Amino acid sequence: MAQLKVVICGAGIAGNALAFWLSKLGYEVTVVERWPNLRATGLQVDLRGFGVNVLKRMGLEQAFRARTIQEQGLEFINSSGEQKAYFPANRTGKGLQSFTTDHEIMRGDLCRLLYDATKDRVKYVFGVTVESFEENNTSVEVLFSNGKKGCFDLLVGADGQWSRIRRLMLGPDTPDPFHFLGVYTGYFTIPQPIREGEQYISTNYIAPGKRMGLRDVRRGSVNEEKAALAELFQGAGWQTDRILKGLMKSDDFYLERLGLVKTSVWSQGRVVLIGDAAYCPSAVTGMGTTSSLVGAYILAGEIGQHCGSDSKEGLLTALKQYEQCFRPFMDKVQKGLSRDSNVLTKIPSSPVGIALLHFFLGLVALLRLDVLAKYIIREDVREWDLPEYQEMIQRQE
């Protein structure tokens, strides 16, 4: 029987990780990406817990570490720049991570690492996305944005939290599974020379005063978004004004709504979702990259287990088993997350409230308590074990 043919929409972390495993299993894999080239951009991401285990099973930990950011820890400061609390990275290899992990990397570097480990056995098509698809009993026919068509055994939506594949799969009458957490966040980089003797430390500054904007800004208008943020944060203290000048000059700025994706199903027929398209946990949890890597590993493992190298008969069963195995993990990661419970909306804004928060954080740091990893970062997933798939272990040997 002919080998399984899979098309993955999205060449991000989840899509490339899945392509890595499926191609290792000997399947014919095509990845389409709407950007004209590999989108190796983005800021810092980290791996935690089971994500590190998957990285090791991929055989990529050494290459990953060669690209890591040697961030020493995270500090909270006041408006004068005085450090009020400091959480060092956990470099022991044991226990829960802190805010800063031992596996910090720029998103673009991780995306490039996965792509380089995959490109020789996977067909990548850039500047193209999935326009529509039609299923029958034996295959899914995909119409691409360049007008070409292809017939595949499986279509994978790895196209992020605003997934087009998800919308097409669930249909127009299904409510939007994206749940806004009440927070907008902007990302950009500015030049910051590191002087001799200085270390890489993540700095958090909580500015006094509620900062809310009711300004009509066109979605996607970068200049208007920048201007709105500059207006909101002008005069907020510390080095804010210098940072805002960098914001106005930056060429990599983007603004997003923080939220999570919770869908009732992760697959329908021969279409399946992974990563943020299926179960975006939001940046609040610190588990987005880990969830993408682990989810891709489990989906590939179930396909390999139920289909083997020369069968397609067990594919639909594999998709159901992928969800049955991994959904309990994601339920724990996303548990209790809502607009009302989001910790970022509970941060105090009065000088007294901020001082009390700094005191609490300083005490937690002094006592080296794990409350942050347990209750803010959702790393502590219990009563769930990472499966081992013999087919994938054999391919790695």
CB 83 within 8 A of CB 211: no
Q: What percent of the chain has pLDDT over 70?
A: 86
| Distance from C-alpha of 290 to C-alpha of 210, rounded to nearest angstrom | 33
* Mean pLDDT over each residue of the chain, to the nearest integer: 87
β-pair partners for 180: 259
Closest Cα partner for 157 from 315, 279, 9? 9
One-letter amino acid for residue 282 of the chain: S
Structure tokens at 239: 């080095």
Give the model's confidence band at 209: pLDDT under 50 very low, under 70 low, under 90 confident, else very high. Answer: confident
pLDDT in tens, 259-274: 999 999 999 999 999 9
| Distance from C-alpha of 18 to C-alpha of 12, rounded to nearest angstrom | 10
pLDDT in tens, 352-371: 999 999 998 899 888 876 65
- Which residue has better confidence, 87 or 318? 318
Q: Name residues whose C-beta falls within 8 Å of residue 196's C-beta, 6 or more positions apart in sequence.
A: none
| Distance from C-alpha of 71 to C-alpha of 194, rounded to nearest angstrom | 12
Which position has the token pair 């930056």? 250
pLDDT in tens, 292-301: 999 999 999 9
* Beta strands 200-205; 71-77: pairing state: parallel
pLDDT in tens, 218-253: 556 888 899 988 988 988 889 999 999 999 999 889
pLDDT in tens, 45-73: 888 889 999 999 999 999 999 998 877 88
pLDDT in tens, 367-376: 876 655 555 6
**Which domains, from first to last, does the chain contain?**
5-68+104-179+259-335+382-396 (3.50.50.60), 71-102+190-251+348-377 (no CATH)
| Distance from C-alpha of 223 to C-alpha of 15, rounded to nearest angstrom | 31
One-letter amino acid for residue 311 of the chain: S
Give the CA count within 13 Å in the CB-facing half-sphere of 141.
6
Q: What is the pTM of this model?
A: 0.89
pLDDT at 377 over 70: no
CB 130 within 8 A of CB 145: yes
